[in-house]
Amino acid sequence: MKKHTVIFEPAGKTTEVNDGVTLLEAAARAGAGLDSICGGSGICGKCRVVVKDGMPALSAPSDTEKKFIRPEEGPVRLACESLIYGDVTVHVPPAAMISRKATRKVSANLNPAVKKYSVKINPPSMQDMGQGDRERLLDALRAQHGLSGLSLDFNILKGLQKTLRDSLWEVTASVWMGREIIRLEPSVSGTAYGLAVDIGTTTVAAYLCDLVSGNILDTFSATNPQASHGEDVMSRITFAMTNSDGLSVMQGEIRECLNGIIKETGLSPEDIMDMTVVCNTVMHHILLGIDPAGIGAAPFVQSVRRSLYVKARELGININGSSYIHVLPTASGFIGADSAGVLIALRPYNQDKKVLIIDVGTNGEILIGDRNGVYSASCATGPAFEGERIKYGMRAFAGAIERVWIDAETKEPSLEIIGNVRARGICGSGIIDAVAGLYRAGIIDKSGRLRLEPLRANGLPHTERLRLDAEGRPEFVLAWKEQTETGTDITITQADVRAVQLAKAALYAGTKLLMRRMGIEKIDRIILAGAFGSYINKKSALVIGMLPECAPEDISAAGNAAGEGAVLALLDTEKREEAEREVLKLRHLEISIDPDFQEEFLSAMDIPHR
């Protein structure tokens, strides 16, 4: 089959693909950093690219594209809908690029799994032929560094003779966990890199670390390509169960996603010698190629609970092939290795006060506890907080409305837009602000209804921003078309409000059930984990009833705590043991079968709640 060359500007990334591959798939292979909120299902319209050369090589615009792209926009295509049949060059605009945000340096004890040792080896001679090359290497490491009982990865053994002779019998050995040689370099080398990865249902985040200095060198983010099979974990389980190749397809997608990130680091794969992974339990099983069907039905049991070490080559992950990937332990079917990462990053088991930790994502994980014990629960919040299924939703990059204030008297909104540019849409933090502002201004009522009559009935001033759309449904205009980059009004619709209500009700109900199980009525401190949690306005979250009652000064954000836990486990093997120990102590509540969940959920649908 003929190969076609695809060039992505301005990154200068190039790849070759077969007929019928989409531009979105090609971008992932090339590591071009093209974002897609819906993972290629054609429902978000965010993966816009400008075709610079080769438009005839692409399939004709689909009906889906015609819904999102106006003819006057020029040679703009949706990458997920554009099939490639020839050479093509496209430009990825800034608004469609995956955001790479700097992360703070993690304070960790530096004790990585992979350490490097340079040795000089006595070469054989006609008078000294009693040992093989393997034994000479092991003797040298024992004599010069006190390392005993080592084994060699078989791939290293196969190339051992050539490596030793080319290096004139002076090499650097990379040793994993003090047990196994996973790399030999024919020189003195002190560099070693590792990758800590957080595989979310919607987003994959990765942290490139220097295993010698302990520094985080770079961060990477990509959309989980499995999102095209469904937005939540249950839909992924269903896809695996209803398609004979469903599991292998999704495993291949996450493998290619990770390999795309590895390529984007710019390093030789051989230089990345360790990798840690956190993820929810369904993502965990898919990554490992384990059937997740058992998680989807009572009693919701995973195939493996404890942490795992797997050779990278067995999973097809393109780091050093002899290296191991460490997957942190899972607590239950819906409390995964990501919660293990949160545990070792925030350590609620060392606190005197009752701490509530909420990792806000497509699947919300809840942890409550102190030094007397930690309880856990999970709830399906859906992707509303990440911009999906919101009419003008988008990720938090340039052009996204991230803060909203609505004047209670005039009903006029004030907006804060990422990048100080014209608005293109609204991201999760802005959506929460908008719903809270609409409620405080009396534009939506306690049930979440967005309508004209309450304003008039209560003698409140009318605003032209509150109107009916073309189908007669109410909406509120945040930004007029003259203020936007897209040339269309950006609105909050009734469906948007309902999506936020569903998400926040799931979190609140899960939290209240867990508090009831623990016999407590008050939380002393709330920590919002997850990258999104850092941007939530805590007062807005309290107004809409997303969180239990707590003083705003006792609410803080921890960033991507799961990813931070992955970094800690990468840099310090003792953290791996701590994760294993604390996960086994967790007391889990399966709220989906709790008889009180439905009542709590329905009560929590009100704003703030019933």
The tens digit of pLDDT for each residue in 423-435 reads: 999 998 999 999 9
The pLDDT value given to residue 39: 59
Query: For residue 389, which of 484, 510, 495 has the smallest C-alpha distance?
Result: 495
Is the residue at 83 inside a domain? Answer: yes
DSSP designation for 11: T
d(C-alpha 235, C-alpha 241), whole Å:
10
pLDDT band at 457 (very low <50, low <70, confident <90, very high): low
d(C-alpha 217, C-alpha 395), whole Å:
24
- Six token digits for residue 592: 């989906």
- The per-residue pLDDT of the chain, averaged, comes to 89
Query: For residue 340, which of 349, 326, 330, 350 has the smallest C-alpha distance?
Result: 330
What residue type is assigned to position 153 of the chain? Answer: D
The tens digit of pLDDT for each residue in 103-137 reads: 445 567 899 999 999 999 999 888 777 789 999 99
Is the residue at 603 inside a domain? Answer: no
Of 69, 96, 123, the residue that ends a domain is: 96
Of 156, 185, 214, the residue that ends a domain is: 185
Mark out the alpha helices in 40-180 (DSSP H runs): 63-68, 133-145, 154-158, 160-166
Specify whether 73 is located in the same domain as 127.
no
Specify whether 88 is located in the same domain as 28.
yes
pLDDT at position 95 over 70: no
What CA dihedral angle connects 277, 280, 285 and 291, to 10 degrees? 180
pLDDT at position 395 over 80: no
The tens digit of pLDDT for each residue in 141-192 reads: 999 999 999 999 999 999 999 999 999 999 999 999 999 999 999 877 778 9
Specify whether 129 is located in the same domain as 181.
yes
Is the residue at 283 inside a domain? Answer: no
Domain that holds residue 170: 114-185
d(C-alpha 242, C-alpha 290), whole Å:
15
The pLDDT value given to residue 106: 59
SS3 content of the chain, % helix, strand, coil (to 5): 35, 25, 40
The pLDDT value given to residue 126: 84
Calculate mean pLDDT across residues 228-241.
90
Of 28-37, 100-109, 231-240, 571-580, least confident by mean pLDDT is: 100-109
Specify whether 90 is located in the same domain as 121.
no
Is the residue at 162 inside a domain? Answer: yes
By CB neighbour count within 10 A (0-12 exposed, 13-18 middle, 19+ buried), where does 554 fall? middle
d(C-alpha 65, C-alpha 89), whole Å:
19
The tens digit of pLDDT for each residue in 489-531 reads: 999 999 999 999 999 999 999 999 999 999 999 999 999 988 7
Is the residue at 232 inside a domain? Answer: no
Q: Is the Cα torsion angle 42, 44, 47, 49 positive or negative in sign?
A: positive
- Six token digits for residue 446: 């306690």
The pLDDT value given to residue 265: 87
Of 211-220, 326-335, 349-358, 393-402, least confident by mean pLDDT is: 393-402
Specify whether 15 is located in the same domain as 43.
yes
What residue type is assigned to position 526 of the chain? Answer: I
The answer to whether 183 touches 156, Cβ cutoff 8 Å, is yes
The pLDDT value given to residue 258: 95
The pLDDT value given to residue 40: 67
Calculate mean pLDDT across residues 240-258.
95
The answer to whether 27 touches 79, Cβ cutoff 8 Å, is yes
The beta strand positions in 453-584, using DSSP E, are 466-468, 474-479, 490-493, 525-529, 555-559
Specify whether 85 is located in the same domain as 118.
no
d(C-alpha 282, C-alpha 302), whole Å:
8
What CA dihedral angle connects 165, 168, 172 and 173, to 10 degrees? 30
pLDDT at position 458 over 60: no
Q: What is the largest CA-CA distance in the chain?
A: 105
Specify whether 124 is located in the same domain as 171.
yes
Is the residue at 74 inside a domain? Answer: yes
Of 122, 156, 185, the residue that ends a domain is: 185
Q: Collapsing DSSP states into helix, strand and coil, what is residue 587?
A: strand
Calculate mean pLDDT across residues 271-292.
96
The answer to whether 3 touches 21, Cβ cutoff 8 Å, is no
Specify whether 157 is located in the same domain as 89.
no
Query: For residue 573, which of 178, 141, 174, 153 has the smallest C-alpha distance?
Result: 178
Check which CATH number belongs to the domain holding 87 and give it. Answer: 3.10.20.30
What residue type is assigned to position 537 of the chain? Answer: N
d(C-alpha 135, C-alpha 151), whole Å:
10
d(C-alpha 22, C-alpha 8), whole Å:
13
By CB neighbour count within 10 A (0-12 exposed, 13-18 middle, 19+ buried), where does 219 fall? middle
Is the residue at 453 inside a domain? Answer: no
Question: 286 to each of 142, 243, 289, how far by Cα in Å?
Answer: 40, 14, 5
Q: Is the Cα torsion angle 310, 314, 316, 318 positive or negative in sign?
A: positive
pLDDT at position 461 over 60: no
The total number of structural domains in the chain stands at: 2
d(C-alpha 36, C-alpha 98), whole Å:
8
Check which CATH number belongs to the domain holding 168 and give it. Answer: 3.10.20.880
d(C-alpha 565, C-alpha 559), whole Å:
11
Is the residue at 85 inside a domain? Answer: yes
d(C-alpha 320, C-alpha 355), whole Å:
40
pLDDT at position 486 over 80: yes
pLDDT at position 268 over 80: yes
The pLDDT value given to residue 460: 52
- Six token digits for residue 55: 């438009």
Specify whether 92 is located in the same domain as 121.
no
Query: For residue 338, which of 364, 372, 300 has the smallest C-alpha distance?
Result: 364
Calculate mean pLDDT across residues 436-462.
78
Question: 439 to each of 225, 349, 454, how far by Cα in Å?
Answer: 36, 37, 12
Higher pLDDT, residue 443 or 232: 443
Strand (E) or helix (H) holding 262 = helix 246-264
Specify whether 92 is located in the same domain as 127.
no
Specify whether 176 is located in the same domain as 130.
yes
pTM (whole model) above 0.75: yes
The pLDDT value given to residue 534: 77
CA 242 distance to own-chain centroid: 25
Calculate mean pLDDT across residues 267-292.
95
The pLDDT value given to residue 37: 60
Specify whether 22 is located in the same domain as 92.
yes
CA 273 distance to own-chain centroid: 22
Antiparallel, parallel or unpaired: β 425-426 and 474-479: unpaired
